[in-house]
Structure 1
Amino acid sequence: MASEAAQGSKAKLLDAAVRVFRKKGYAGTRVEDICEEAGLTKGSFFHHFKSKEEVAIAAADLFSDRADAFFADADYHRVSDPADRLIAYADFRKRHAAGALADFTCLLGMLTQETYETHPSIRDAAGKHILEHAAAIAKDAAEAKALHAPEARWTPESLGIFTQAVIQGAFILAKSKGDEGIAQDCLEHLQRYLALLFNRPFTEEEETR
């Protein structure tokens, strides 16, 4: 029973860390902020984590696990043509770029950008997860290239990374203006680019921006 309670408090702290880091960033977050968000004491925090850096790495892992589960169930996977599936992926990201900025932007990108020099262990943990997602997108890109653009000189890996560069940049620009519409516009341009890259149709409704 005590072990279950301990695991429960650790889970609360991790949930709280994800929420607070997404709102305040790494530098702006104090251990006290995480404890207050979780409704737990600093003693409980330091029972589970040695430092803010350690909980940030764990929060990046948790965020990535949740994102993987979210994407695994996404509707774009059911699109048969791999090029259309990539376009549907961009549309999926656009449709979910809505609401409070802290709720849909990426904790991994925030941590990578903020800690790339000061805390390389956090940078590496967060960056690894972004590149893993890029690699997953590259699998669809490889199928799409083989089917629609076999002679193209670009690589599926580079396209996978490019999609993440657009997405992370879209989030940064949306934050710069406090406007989710900026992210949506960027992601629609990504859809348009992918359609052009594979010579796929793009509907009139999608061409309005």
Structure 2
Amino acid sequence: MPKLDTKPDAKAKLLDAALSVIRTKGYSSTSVDDLCREAGVTKGAFFHHFKSKNDLGVAAADYWSLFTGTLFTNAPYHDHADPLDRVLGYLEFRKALLRGGVPDFTCLVGTMVQETYETAPNIRDACDRSISEHAAKIEADIDAAMQARAMAVDWTAESLALHTQAVLQGAFILAKAKGGAAIAADSIDHLIRYVKLLFDVQTT
């Protein structure tokens, strides 16, 4: 019987492969063979770590959260003293990440949830958790900016934080449709203008 490739890094290789292949081909079109080929591991290694492709999809969403969490935690926009500047800096940082080909800057969980929201509830829930946890981080700065300005409005920091994610995910869809980052950058610029209007920031 052939020996299984169960080296300690095989799981990480498969998760890294998922981030790349699924953002390129989509979840439905990505096969276990595709993932194993990209990761350089055997199918035996895949099924040693994951019961199914759906099982990997859930793990990939959580892995994406860890991967992006580190990226955003270390981002320079946190250095701003004014929380509104941190919010705007976050959006500028998202725009700065629009580099490389479309698969390089689009969102893994946004890609997966579009395809699986009805057919794979466990993946849908993992994607929702990832997006919502990310939104909660910017929500804290939005809330602080609202409090600093004693704003009395009929919307919440949570709703605006989730709206930023809706715009970003929509921008990625347009980038896929148009075949490039330019439309996504324009969408983020419009979102920045919108946030400034909400907070009555004077622009020249």
1:1-209 superposed matches below 5 A: 6-202=7-203
Task: Tell me the CA shift for residue 148 of structure 1.
Answer: 2.3
- State the distance in 1 between where 2:93 and 2:8 align: 34
| TM-score for both structures, normalised by structure 1 | 0.92
The answer to whether the Cα contact below 8 Å between 2:61 and 2:108 also exists between their aligned partners in 1 is yes
Change (3 A) 1:149 1:168: farther
- State the distance in 2 between where 1:78 and 1:99 align: 26
The answer to whether the Cα contact below 8 Å between 2:101 and 2:180 also exists between their aligned partners in 1 is no
Identity %: 52
Amino acid at match of 1:91: E
When structure 1 is superposed on structure 2, of 154-163 and 91-100 the one drifting more is 91-100
- State the distance in 2 between where 1:149 and 1:135 align: 21
| TM-score for both structures, normalised by structure 2 | 0.94
Task: Tell me the CA shift for residue 6 of structure 1.
Answer: 2.6
The answer to whether the Cα contact below 8 Å between 1:83 and 1:200 also exists between their aligned partners in 2 is no
- State the distance in 1 between where 2:97 and 2:150 align: 29
- State the distance in 1 between where 2:32 and 2:147 align: 50
Amino acid at match of 1:35: C
Aligned residues: 199
The answer to whether the Cα contact below 8 Å between 1:56 and 1:122 also exists between their aligned partners in 2 is yes
* Deviation by residue 1:147-193 (Cα, 9 ceiling, x = unmatched): 22521121111011011011001001111110200000000111111
- State the distance in 2 between where 1:53 and 1:186 align: 32
When structure 1 is superposed on structure 2, of 63-72 and 38-47 the one drifting more is 38-47
Amino acid at match of 1:159: L
Task: Tell me the CA shift for residue 126 of structure 1.
Answer: 0.9
- For structure 1, the residue ranges without an aligned partner over 5 or more in a row are 205-209
- State the distance in 1 between where 2:50 and 2:125 align: 19
- State the distance in 1 between where 2:19 and 2:93 align: 22
Over the aligned positions, Cα root-mean-square deviation in angstroms equals 1.2
- State the distance in 2 between where 1:93 and 1:14 align: 23
Task: Tell me the CA shift for residue 201 of structure 1.
Answer: 3.9
- State the distance in 2 between where 1:48 and 1:85 align: 39
Amino acid at match of 1:49: F
* Deviation by residue 1:121-168 (Cα, 9 ceiling, x = unmatched): 001001111011111111111111112252112111101101101100
Amino acid at match of 1:18: L
